[in-house]
Structure 1
């Protein structure tokens, strides 16, 4: 018996050594591939980073947005952690007869917890199989690769149960309440006898070990690599304002290109995203482009980039990414040389990721909001757009026209820059609008924006907000014809050069007039002023507001009082750059709820899961040539609430919803900005 024990121990050590060598090779290869990216310093802020780990990894906050799959994954996650102690216990029993974890009197309770955990994980894997192959959830892939981990995990659990039951028969243990599942096995198979059970125990022991090691080798080479990379990704994720784009040093004389044209142009932190992806499809299921038939799928964007990084990384580093090589077709030196030549010639932008995909993104960040592993899709798309525009000089004709108009006349239509303040002449005499002067003091600079200045429909928003400010007794001024475009459209369309020029000019203008508070009706301008202009010299003490925030504040302070009853059912559409980019969901709702008689109803997709109107990311100025229109889809969602009014907090959103209502021939329902609704509710 001792000889067999020694042979088993040697076989165990040899197999374990080989498996851990393979695991190390796989993980080091992927580490080497990630290191091809640019280095990026990580802001310490460890307290916040560990909080992210606690909330999103251990607390499953994002996963639990989908309660069913969230609970299922929670059981698997904690179950798998607990089962590792059981694996140590089982392996030890197979190597040293009579041994078990040294837990003293707690050991029987540990065994009970282990059995219940195994049962729960089996139920969870069963539900995972049901969701994927029976319910056929649209966002989930189906195929042997998608199901292999379910098979491995289920087999691992069954081997634990069977081994536990066989050990009880082998050792002559009686059935007991602390081993409920194994006891059922004993009752069914007690006729096996002690010797047969002992032999079968070791057969199951090896099966368990082989499954465990297969799992260890397979996981980092599959979509389940997120087990290792997701915690790292959550820890190193970009902190601070969501959706804030990095400033490009356009004066860098050593730069061969701007933006990301090669996989190596991304930062190492961005490349960790690629291996952290779990391919759950949540991002694609909420993407406005994907859901309306566009080519873009955020999940496939990430997985295609991941595969490209793996192949190109293998070519550059001469490391095979797949182990054991024979199981994946092998990689000879000649094959590697061919792969090197092929992969190095494969362009990232245009082939791995098509221009069609890049120009379909509305930068709404819904994909990032639902991603359980903290992937950031939008900044990668924006970096590739920057490469197309700044390095290749390639962008759609409509986008190029809008950017040229902004550069020449300061607005996307190319209308005369001296007509920017014409909307003021349309105001009632009762509504005073003061243009800023060097000698005049004012509390708020009202940044009107191109939509509020030139678009006939959106001028009404500007007029309504001016009326509200005058009734509230607010000291404010406008820039008139001195006002410039905020540059947001230019930046999201990839023209960083034009954006930086406008940002620097605007910052200088704000400083000249000693601006301390800025308010705007445009969430895109609000976002870039509040979060991105600091990179270009805007003093940190300058306060930036969206008009809904101030309207809500003034109502609360009693400066204005919506007295006029409006017996309307209103549904509110959350602008992406106000909500997901700046976490402002309550102010618009509080303002609307203050109107007597108003019934505020929510769409199925609202708040952080609100669907984009389709205008973000510069898409306002581009035609949709694939699938259905995003704004039509969003308007249909709003109409399902049977509203009288669809409220918005953004001139772009208002335009898109207005167009959606026209496309649906809906005449009974109106789209209005919250400023218009509040202004109407004030007693004249």
Structure 2
């Protein structure tokens, strides 16, 4: 009779909890469907591989090895314990029930006990990291939900062991300390209470476990724990192709009245999945150069605020339809998809504005587009494309642009360079050194490489020295190359990442037309930003050419023996990884190999290096917008380099070099610590 009553109570509680869970999950699915339909390229092999490495293998989580190990234990012990949960549930209805594993059951029991204990240890360590060690990235929010998770998980694990311990007393079994070491210890400690008390306590802790399971089940979709369901989905649907590649806007769409994202439902569904996949672990914000230097931008906070806004808007939309669940007390178990009319009605709701009320303009313009946040995210969230979509709305729909950005756009439109200097002065840099030979495409009939000089190399005095050094090396290597000269335009990369997609596409079309006109097959540039956009974004618009960064070719020529670093260059170089060569294009080893091939050079690694390298602060248009909030990013990065006591700070990007040079000046060490591009260091080592 007791087991029957227990079964009826269990079924009632289970039914209600499962109903609430399904209701909550499905409403979130409906909220995601508010977004625009997005393209999906199957690429199953690649997608499954990504899931295996990042979800099952915890690749990104192990960027923080301590947290990675803790989560790995939690992840796999959770699945192991679920098998035992089935057996534990049946034990509540059938006294002494065990899976029919015969002699193998003792090993199953041992596995369950150790999995439960290890989960308990992992939970305890997680609690210590947040509340004992007070890990900075976990201190952003104090709303009690994190504490509930720790308490619930501790209750889940302890109640399993305690219930099993009292079951042994209930069945009058001898404690088994070999195959049930933890529950056996509990049974041994309480062996004198008798079978009746053992039975009562078994059901007390059995129900404690079940109620905790059901409470957690309902809690998950309403908290950051929702990532437990959406993380793998998000990783699977993650955008394929070059990382950081932005989606193209069709300006020929006559029905388009707005460009960019001004409302939450203007994001694609894949972008909205990101919001519910966010684990609020703080890894993105912890590595963000803007957040780390006192700016208002926090990538994690950005995701959380948009998620909450989507949930609020979704509930408001679904509440208009009595047949759709808007919250846990939804009126129907039938969940019809949103009709087009219902989706459009979302725009008419009186809700806080996405830009202005939910996300401030200051947050959007603080981003350097370095992708450190995305590189750190264990669930594959993409923050930068959302920020740029919001910038696009400000720039192209509202015309709401910072004054410096407006000046930048105007100068690019008029003279195709950020300073507004006469475009006819683009070739003057080659006249300043008599030991180099640089011809334009109009001055030579044949060339293998088109050297894309870029606006920095053409007009910035410091950056001109970089391109001059590279031209000297190309001459020494016997490479036939040419430049576009005054026909060269700006690459448009910065304009695109500042939100002016229209200007980018205009420049892109002009540049591709020039490449085709002069039959360009290979492009090399000293500018990582131009390199990235030519290699990964221009092909969508018709570019058919091989694209190289100057360090790639320098290393190739060293290996081929075309150039030989022979002279000793006695420098201790703190090497800085450019974001657009590093995180965008995964080039980390080549620059280091070049430096190590130079006699006398000692390469010093900053604490934040390679994929963890901190941005110089110039990306995303920040080069042209004054920093008025917090500490200057370039100064912070320079200080990180100076901790190594280098004689030189090395880079492979004219933007980075400018920012680091300004940093050494701000720290008043420019006389003691040089700032050089790799190509300048190579040139010093050549016997030419």
Name the structure 1 match of 2:492.
Answer: 487
Q: Is the 8 A contact 2:569 2:684 kept in 1?
A: no
Counterpart-to-counterpart distance in 1, 2:651 and 2:272 = 37
Asked if 2 retains the 8 angstrom alpha-carbon contact of 1:648 and 1:654, the reply is yes
Where 2:137 maps in the other structure, the secondary structure is coil
Is the CA contact 2:263–2:347 (under 8 Å) kept in the aligned structure 1?
Answer: no
Counterpart of 1:405 (choices 395, 411, 427) is 411
1:135 aligns to 2:133 (yes or no): yes
Displacement after TM superposition at 1:321 (Å): 5.1
Query: Using a 3 Å threshold, how does the CA distance of structure 1 residues 208 and 391 change in structure 2: closer, same or farther?
Result: same
Aligned pairs for 1:230-241 within 5 A: 230-241=231-242
Gaps of 5+ in 2: 332-344
In the aligned structure 2, how far is the partner of 1:621 from the partner of 1:156?
Answer: 54
| Residues 507 and 537 in structure 1, CA contact (< 8 A), matched pair in contact too | yes
More deviation, 389-398/101-110: 101-110
Q: Measure, in 2, the Cα distance between the counterparts of 1:237 and 1:419.
A: 44
Q: Distance in 2 between matches of 1:230 and 1:258?
A: 29
Shift of 1:350: 1.3
Cα separation, 1, equivalents of 2:386 and 2:346: 24
Instruction: Give the deviation of 1:683 after TM superposition.
Output: 1.1
- In structure 2, the residue matched to 1:336 is none
Q: CA deviation at 1:343?
A: 5.9
Shift of 1:143: 4.3
Residue aligned with 1:618, SS? helix
Task: Say which is worse superposed, 103-112 or 485-494, in terms of deviation.
Answer: 103-112
Partner SS for 2:297 = coil
User: In the alignment, does 2:652 pair up with 1:652?
Assistant: no
Return the offset for 1:654: 0.4
- Alignment of 1:301 onto 2:310: no
Q: 2:382 aligns with which of 376, 387, 396?
A: 376
Change in Cα spacing, 1:65 to 1:321, as seen in structure 2 (3 Å) is: farther
Match of 1:424 among 427, 430, 453: 430
Question: Residue 448 in 1 paired to residue 453 in 2?
Answer: yes
After the TM superposition, which residues 122-271 of structure 1 pair with which residues of structure 2 at under 5 Å, given as runs? 122-141=120-139, 142-176=142-176, 177-271=178-272
1:207 CA displacement: 1.1
Contact 2:316 2:326 in 1 (8 A): no
Counterpart of 1:82 (choices 80, 83, 95) is 80
SS at match of 1:604: coil
Which one of the candidate residues 493, 501, 517 is aligned to 1:512?
A: 517
The answer to whether residue 638 in structure 2 is matched with residue 635 in structure 1 is yes
In the TM superposition, what is the alpha-carbon distance from 1:324 to its structure 2 partner? 5.7
| In 2: Cα distance, 1:317 partner to 1:440 partner | 66
Partners of 1:290 and 1:22 lie apart in 2 by 37
Quick one: distance in 2 between partners of 1:266 and 1:143? Answer: 28
Per the TM alignment, residue 17 of structure 1 is displaced from its structure 2 partner at its CA by 1.0
Which TM-score applies when normalising by structure 2? 0.95
2:542 aligned to which of 537, 542, 550 = 537
Q: In 2, are the aligned partners of 1:30 and 1:321 still within 8 Å (CA)? A: no
Q: How many residues of Structure 1 are paired with residues of Structure 2 in the alignment?
A: 667
Which residue is equivalent to 1:573?
576
TM-score where L is the length of structure 1 = 0.96
| Mapped partners of 2:90, 2:297: distance in 1 | 50
Aligned-partner Cα distance in 2 for 1:54–1:101: 30
CA distance in structure 2 between the partners assigned to 1:325 and 1:200 by the alignment = 36
CA, structure 1 residues 45+38, in 2 after alignment: closer, same or farther (shift >3 Å)?
A: same
Using the alignment, how far apart are the partners of 2:513 and 2:143 within structure 1?
58
Secondary structure in structure 1 of the residue aligned to 2:619: coil
Q: Describe how 1:553-564 pairs up with structure 2 within 5 A.
A: 553-564=556-567
> Residue 334 of structure 1 aligns with which residue?
none
Q: Deviations over 1:541-563 (max 9, x none)?
A: x1000001100111111100010
Q: Distance in 2 between matches of 1:78 and 1:34?
A: 29
| 1:139 match: secondary structure | helix
